[in-house]
Each structure stands twice: as C-alpha cells, then as structure tokens.
Amino acid sequence: MARSKRVGYAVVGMGFIAETSVLPAFRESAKGKLVALVSHDLKRARQMGAKFGVKDCYSYEDYDQCLNHPEVDAVFIASINGEHAEQTMRAAAAGKHVLCEKPLANTVEECRRMVEACRENRVLLMTAYRKYFEPGSVALKKLVITGKLGRLRHMFSTYTEAVDPAKVKWQLKRRRAGGGSLMDIGIYCVNTMRWLAGTAPIAATAHAWTDDAKRFAEVEDSIAFRLTHPEGLVCQGTSSYSAKAASFVQVHGDEGWAALNPAFAFEEERRLFGKIQGRWFEEKFKVIDEFVLEIDHFADCIRRGRGPKADGVEGLLDLATIEAIYRSASENRTVAVEKIAG
C-alpha cells in the first residue's frame, strides 16, 4: 500500500461507542477513511451511513460482502464483546487488518484464536487501547521508564460508573459481555497498570460484591483485585457499576509518586501530579479525540508494515489476568495468572 493513501476502514457494530466516538473520529482522521458500515440491523447501518456520509452499508448477514469491498483495507470492530472473535477471524481470512475494541474477546481461548488467525493470514491485529496514545498517560509512562519514580513498589487504579438500568442491557449478560464492570471498564485498570509496569502479573487475589443480586445475577457489579508482579511489585484495582463516574491510576516508587486523575474517561481534562524527591509537580492535558489517535496509528502501521503498539497479544495478556481475577473471586483464593508467550 502506498504510504500516501488513506487506509479504508469498515466499522462493524453500530452501538453507542460507534455512534458517539468511533464514527465521528473519522472526520478528523488524516490517515483513515470511513468506507463501509456493518450492523445487526441494516436499517440502523443505513441511518448511520446517512449521518456520517457512508453509502456502503451492510447487515451482519452480508458481512462477507463487506469484506470483499475493494476499498476496505481494515475493520474496526465495535460490536458486542461476544462477537469479536468470529468477526475478527472472518476478517483475517479475507485478508483485512483488524482494530478491535476492548476486551479483545470474552475468553483467553478466543483471544488466542484471533491472534493466530491474524498471524496465519499475515494481517495486523490491534486492541483498541487508547491509553497508549493519550498524552497524559504517555507522560506518566515516561516518568516510569526514565526512572524518575525509582523502583516501582505499588500501583493503584479504579474505574467506576453508575450505569443506567434503561441503557445498559447486553453488558449484564455473561454470554454477550463476558463479565461485568471488570470486563467493561476495569480492564483499563488491568491493562494500564501492566503497561506502566512493563511486566505481566503472576498471581491474582480478588473479591466481588453487590447489593443488587437480581440485577447482577450473571455478571459482577463491583470487584476489587490485587495483582502480584515479579520482583514484588503489587498492583491493586477496583471497578464498579454502582458508583459515580471516576477513574485514576497512581504509581508509587522509592523516589516518588505520580497520579493521573481522571485517568480513563475521554471527555475530561486530565491532571498528572505527584511528588518526586520532595518536589510537587502538576501538568494538565486538554481533551483530545483519542479515537483519532488510535485510528491513525493503526493506519500508519498498515502503511508501513509494522506491528501496532497495542497488538493482539496485549489484549490476550489482559484476558489471562482477568480470568485469574474471576477465578480468585469465585474460589476465594489466590490464583496464578496463565503465562502467555509473545
């Protein structure tokens, strides 16, 4: 592919995140072009097509037809979690690159099949982790890798949202969502702490709870977890569907500490602050379109034939951690995290 050509994307799944964030991002993308839309409901796809200026719209039944579209180079999968694996593997078989929303899939085994399918078909697979590109998170990562915080000792992170019963439906179904708040928003805590640490956790201890057992009969409401990393680093996190929206990540080393708050919601100004060797610091980061950053990064990777920062293995590593967290909460014991080879 010529480096000057914009990469053609089909977006699969016309839910809330697609309508409010993914599709609008293409208006500002310098390297990606919105070519086609796919939805379980063809009428919905056409409505979104009219709204965002896309003429080629398909139902899930016609997904293969979309994948044969000559201008579609990649798919952005924004469908429900339970459909990610099949849609990714079909795209890979058609020779299309895949940018898939988190979680990459519902299980480690599904993630593994997705990674293998993309490797076998020589297409790129990227997990849609915005944090790898968002300036506040990048600045925090720089503090870690430059050693300004010293040796890392502890990390803490949380992400909570008080979900509206009228709006959140499929997210409370295990087969469709894979889990509750941990799979939906807590995964940001899991991924970001692992990304900052530069190591994968080796053991998990967790506890889940709710005061609405009927509503959360299939998936967890609130969950707290402790992840042990090599060399003694401890990462602790929580997620919840029953607390007001909030998020942060805080890193403690033997030379200082730093916090990003808010950390994950993309519509708020971020503040990075802390204290290093006795000196306070603070830096603010304005709201930017993080979806544009990931779309353009993936397009650039396709152009240049290089792997994305947040590839499929990153998503696989997080699902291995999440499965260990769920097992720990269920069995009331510390559980080893499955080792994943890169």
CATH number of the structural domain spanning residue 214: 3.30.360.10
pLDDT classification of 342: cutoffs 50, 70, 90: low
* Four-point Cα dihedral 10, 16, 20, 26, nearest 10: -10
Tell me if 187 sits within 8 A of 102, measured CB to CB: yes
Domain count, the chain: 2
**Residues 279, 297: one domain?**
no
**pLDDT tens-digit readout, 211-242:** 999 999 999 999 999 999 998 999 999 999 99
Q: How far apart are CA 127 and CA 294, in angstroms?
A: 10
Integer Rg of the chain from CA: 20
Pick from 219, 195, 244: nearest CA to 81: 219
CB 207 within 8 A of CB 223: yes
Residues 272 and 156 in one domain: yes
254-273: per-residue pLDDT in tens? Answer: 999 999 999 998 889 999 99
- Answer whether residue 46 is part of any domain: yes
**Can you give the CATH number for the domain in which 49 is found?**
3.40.50.720
Is 232 found in the same domain as 126?
no
pLDDT of residue 109 exceeding 90, the answer is yes
- Please report, rounded to a whole number, the percentage of residues in the chain having pLDDT higher than 90: 94
Distance CA 133, CA 136 (A): 9
- Whether 315 maps to a domain, the answer reads no
Q: Is 329 in the same domain as 180? A: yes
> In this structure, are 125 and 136 located in the same domain?
no
**3-state class of 59 per DSSP?**
strand
Domain check: are 67 and 154 in the same one? no
The reported pLDDT for the residue numbered 169 is 79
Model's pTM, two decimal places? 0.96
Is residue 113 located within the same domain as residue 141?
no
- Residue 4 pLDDT greater than 80, yes or no: no
- Does any domain span residue 342? no
Average pLDDT, the chain: 96
Q: What is the mean pLDDT of residues 103-124?
A: 98
Token code pair at residue 327: 């097992």
Q: Would 341 be classed as within a structural domain?
A: no
Cβ-contact 80, 170 below 8 angstroms: yes
In the prediction, which pLDDT does 165 show?
72
Whether residue 52 has pLDDT greater than 60? yes
Give the position of tokens 């709870």: 209
pLDDT at 266: 87
Together in a domain, 21 and 162: no
User: What residues make up the domain containing 156?
Assistant: 131-287+320-336
In the structure encoding, which two tokens stand for residue 81, read together? Answer: 């979690």
Q: Using an 8 Å Cβ cutoff, are 38 and 45 in contact?
A: yes
Alpha-carbon distance of 325 to 225, in angstroms, equals 7
